[in-house]
Amino acid sequence: MANPWRGDVALQLDGVRHVARLTLGALAELESTLDSDTLVGLVGRFEQGNYSSRDVLAVVVAGLRGGGWTGQSADLMSVDIEGGPVAAAQAAARLLAQAFSLPEGP
């Protein structure tokens, strides 16, 4: 089960459930992937709805790797993400939001 207190977000890849989370290491990898961009800029693009498919892919890959997945971004080119690109973008936005905020109490 995905644990929102830990920043977990569930994704289905080819019918297999994966838990993604942006750990400190995953955030560092994400920042490295973005080259000259910053995480603050990335979060701003998501908040404004001005993100690219490259942004979504980078966040999803970093989150999956933070959750223990050992794949690479190229591996996602041929998988079926349940819910398609919209679900992937929503998952990326949730990952970023949960990485930089405290979860709401019960």
Series of mean pLDDT values for 10-residue runs along the chain (106 residues) = 75 96 90 78 87 92 94 91 95 90 62
Q: How many CA atoms lie within 13 A of 70 on its CB side?
A: 0
Domain assignment of residue 105, yes or no: no
Q: How many domains does the chain have?
A: 1
H/E segment holding residue 43: helix 39-48
What phi and psi, each to the nearest 5 degrees, are found at residue 67? -90, 0
Q: Are 67 and 18 in contact (CB under 8 A)?
A: yes
Does residue 106 sit within a domain? no
In a domain, 93, yes or no: yes
Residue 101 confidence (pLDDT): 77
Domain range for 49 is 4-99
What's the pLDDT score for residue 38? 81
Write the burial class of residue 16 (CB in 10 Å: 0-12 exposed, 13-18 middle, 19+ buried): exposed
Rounded-to-integer distance, Cα 64 and Cα 41, Å: 21
Residue 70 forms part of a structural domain: yes
Global pTM reads 0.86
Residue 104 lies in a domain: no
Torsion sign across C-alpha atoms 7, 21, 45, 49: negative
